[in-house]
């Protein structure tokens, strides 16, 4: 049984699923992710401890409020934005999973109502900086253009990028984005963060060998350990996070679901510590 927004206490990590993939440009499937991720969280194949020693099982500051729902198409973003703003108003920290990457825009819109000078730490194969794609300015390829042009974040740091084209290079220059392209990746020591930090993980930041359950297979990506190294090195407050673009319809033996669960545990643990 899920908790409600009224159960959110200060410094709670608030879990919410976002079954949304209407703005995916290639394949549908990320809307199915929350249910599979929740099953993996309960799977006996793993435990609820993090590598840094946090025990997440029955933790009093982890509150799961279930999946977002809406009555009519087009309401999804407004519902998510409102819920995030309510969580933050109660001094909670939202951790959203499932959905395509378009959802990060309403999340940051909700966060920015109560937080200033946010730094976004963004793991992805793609910079998602298009001004518009397929006649849709809210596409999952556009969220960071919308976030930065609205000043919902002060700083955007992108890790794992390996698909930059000319338009997105120009957008990155326009918004002063700090991009660590995969071809130049030398390790977590490259990244110096100041808080507050919001973490967004597109699962296709990983090489497809580690995470086949994504819509866009882009070889040459990060390993699971490389992402964990960055997350575990964070020493400033983490005010929220999302894990997006897991597509269960392309997974193999729930391998990607297990990776998502691993990332969830380490991100959640870091949010509790910071």
Which domains are assigned to the chain? 5-273 (3.40.800.10)
Read off the pLDDT band of 195 (50, 70, 90).
confident
> 195 — phi, psi (to 5°)?
-95, 175
pLDDT at site 1: 81
Model confidence, pTM: 0.97
Rounded CA separation 87/67 (Å): 14
pLDDT tens digits for 119-131?
A: 999 999 999 999 9
Give, as one character, the DSSP assignment of residue 54. -
pLDDT tens digits for 230-262?
A: 999 999 999 999 999 999 999 999 999 999 999
- Tokens 């590598």 correspond to 51
Residue 274 has pLDDT above 80, yes or no: no
Distances (CA, A) of 2 to 5, 14, 82, 97: 10, 11, 18, 15
Q: Are strands 62-67 and 119-123 parallel, antiparallel or unpaired?
A: unpaired
């Amino acid at each position: 049984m899920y908790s409600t927004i009224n159960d959110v206490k200060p410094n709670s990590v608030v879990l919410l699923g976002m079954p949304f993939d209407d703005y995916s440009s290639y394949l549908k499937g990320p809307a199915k992710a929350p249910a599979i991720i929740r099953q993996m969280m309960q799977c006996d194949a793993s435990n609820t401890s993090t590598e840094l020693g946090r025990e997440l099982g029955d933790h009093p500051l982890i509150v799961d409020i279930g999946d977002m729902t809406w009555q009519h198409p087009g309401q999804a973003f407004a519902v998510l934005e409102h819920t995030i703003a309510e969580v933050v108003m109660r001094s909670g920290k939202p951790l959203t999973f499932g959905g395509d990457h378009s959802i990060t825009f309403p999340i940051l819109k909700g966060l920015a109502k109560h937080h200033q000078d946010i730094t976004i730490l963004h793991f992805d194969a793609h910079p998602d900086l298009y001004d518009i794609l397929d006649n849709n300015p809210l596409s999952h390829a556009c969220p960071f253009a919308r976030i930065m042009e609205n000043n919902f974040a002060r700083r955007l740091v992108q890790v794992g990028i390996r698909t930059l084209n000319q338009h997105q290079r120009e957008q990155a220059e326009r918004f002063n984005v700090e991009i660590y392209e995969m071809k130049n990746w030398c390790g977590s020591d490259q990244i110096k963060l100041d808080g507050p930090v919001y973490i967004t993980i597109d699962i296709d930041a990983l090489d497809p060998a580690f995470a086949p359950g994504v819509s866009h297979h882009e070889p040459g990506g990060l390993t699971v350990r490389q992402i964990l190294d960055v997350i575990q090195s964070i020493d400033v407050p983490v005010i929220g996070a999302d894990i997006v673009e897991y597509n269960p319809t392309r997974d193999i033996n729930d391998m990607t679901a297990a990776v998502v669960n691993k990332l969830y545990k380490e991100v959640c643990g870091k949010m509790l510590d910071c």
